[in-house]
Structure 1
């Protein structure tokens, strides 16, 4: 590119933004997604079809959370990938798998709630554990196929600035035309379609709940809270990223202005950091708001506390009998 003389690439923002955000996400996301997996697994055994989608959602979030240390290292070194090219491919693959399996399973959960509340007596065969398991397998399979392009292409690139030795992982700028077309397909199939499904389902649910006189006010509040939470999750976590990705995909393949490219890339990276927040929002929204899941989690915590108390009692008993006091020796002697 003949415009590199104007290039003044600065990775300072990434160096501090991503380690800060990703570290917080890791500390919160890993334990709560493990608990969410536990609670949803118990509910799935009880033939709760919704728990199957929640289990898949938590699994996708947990897998992404576990590779965040690699992205922290990448950002801390100024967007310079120092690890192998294969690790870059795996990290990018799991990141995009999380993005689009999350949106898909959020849509599945919305459809399940729609069928349960709007058509409670119809289409019962679509609300079984077996059906939700089949749908989950199909989602995982399709997303693996669609994102496999990451695993077959070179995903490490040289920084376009001619005076830097940085190696970029996956997010190259400017985008090539084939990358732009893949992004446009992802935006339509992985973001817009699930968003339209979710908006439609929750609009219908809200209408039914609002007009149903038999529904108590407390239940109406729960439904409104669920609708509000899913809307906020999509707006905060996924919408800014996909809006910027759309602009990049339309402009970058045909732009030679490096300053404009860098500006778009910086905004894109900020929105990319926001997407990781869905790893925290998902289990809180869809597992911890469930009364059955809450009961299972409380039972788990009680078991852990009981085990800890029992271990403490055993330690005390061991200390009492292995290290007798002077009084206990005298009592033993007198008897």
Structure 2
């Protein structure tokens, strides 16, 4: 057993079946770690290129990626925790750090997803009216505000002992059954400020983008479909990754007042928590690799590696000479393309305009 001495018996001796933590959780953690780590490293590099090109979108992408990476680095600790039948063998400080990284990933990710959606909305719908809000300085200030707000929220919320003893004398981390009284208001705040309000911001932003896309006669039908898929995928992934978890937070706050209900909702609640983990993989796929130019660059890099290994014919190198390097598109260039009915305008605006 762990030598830790929990500060309070938060579980009230509830007998919970933790089998899901020994079966599904390790698979998800390993999958997200193996796929998410390289994907987010590439995403961080892509964000750096955007910043280098003086594109404020790069600041939001880098912050979003850093939040994902911090959580990914905590996954080995959570993996060991679940494989040891939910028995935390480290000290309470590390439990708090890992728990904070988990919640920070959720709400900082949500914050920067909203920033990206609003930035794209302003770029497409109001390219001139709100230019002062689409600068590097403004993006840096907003980023500092988001990080400060979430860190202060964590300092206020996580002042309680976060390790406790369950009925099997295992030291559990960030798990209370049934939930404590102080958690009720916190859960309502998370649902309203951390999910519902950001969802309305995303929906408003992307509805505005879709209206512009629909009214644009110079945009090809194929491009319109591509933009609509990107927008709908973003909203859908937001709902799938964060919706079930926040809904169950409210359900637990309203109905969980005894061990019987806690046992019934345990599995579905932890499945919803695992869904939030997939956000670490979805973010780089949606916001970086969905760009046509970025996809072409990665395809070139992949084929170049294969060519060096002798897996491709020498002739394939010639086809890449026809592709021009990616350059940032200015607002002036945007209008020029717009008035000449170039179909790439809206797609470029969605992936970043400097």
Q: TM-score range by the shorter chain?
A: 0.7 to 0.9
Q: 3-state DSSP class of the match of 1:213?
A: coil
Q: CA deviation at 1:71?
A: 0.8
Cross-structure match for 2:328:
none
Distance 2:223 2:126 in 1: 17
Partner of 2:284: 283
Q: What CA deviation, in whole Å up to 9, does each residue of 1:33-60 have, x standing for no partner? A: 0011011101111111111111111111
Shift of residue 118, structure 1, vs aligned partner: 1.1
In the TM superposition, what whole-angstrom CA distance separates every residue of 1:272-301 from its partner, at most 9, and x where no partner exists? 111100000000000111245446656766
How large is the Cα RMSD of the aligned pairs? 2.3
Report what 1:268 is aligned to.
269
Task: Quote the offset at 1:8 in angstroms.
Answer: 4.2
Contact 1:237 1:278 in 2 (8 A): yes
Is 2:226 aligned against 1:222?
Answer: yes
The answer to whether the aligner puts 1:113 opposite 2:111 as a matched pair is no
**Match of residue 65, structure 1, among 69, 72, 75:** 72
Question: Is 2:190–2:246's contact at 8 Å kept on the other side of the alignment?
Answer: no
C-alpha distance in 1 between matches for 2:264 and 2:198: 29
TM-score by length of 1: 0.83
- The residue that corresponds to 1:183 in the other structure is 187
* CA gap 1:223/1:130 in 2 versus in 1, 3 angstroms: same
Does 2:95 correspond to 1:88? yes
Give the 3 Å change call, closer, same or farther, for CA 119–10 of structure 1 in structure 2: same
Note the 1:133-172 alignment, pairs <5 A.
Answer: 133-149=140-156, 151-159=158-166, 161=167, 164-172=168-176
5+ residue gaps, structure 1, are: 310-335
Aligned mate of 1:45, from 41, 49, 52: 52
For residue 305 of structure 1, report the CA deviation from its aligned partner: 7.6
Q: Does 1:209 align with 2:210?
A: no
Aligned residues between the structures: 301
Larger Rg computed on CA atoms: 1
- Following the alignment from structure 1 to structure 2, what is the Cα–Cα distance between the partners of residues 37 and 221? 28
TM-score, structure 2 as length reference: 0.79
Is the CA contact 1:92–1:150 (under 8 Å) kept in the aligned structure 2?
A: no
Native 8 Å contact 2:12 2:177 kept in 1: no
SS at match of 2:164: strand
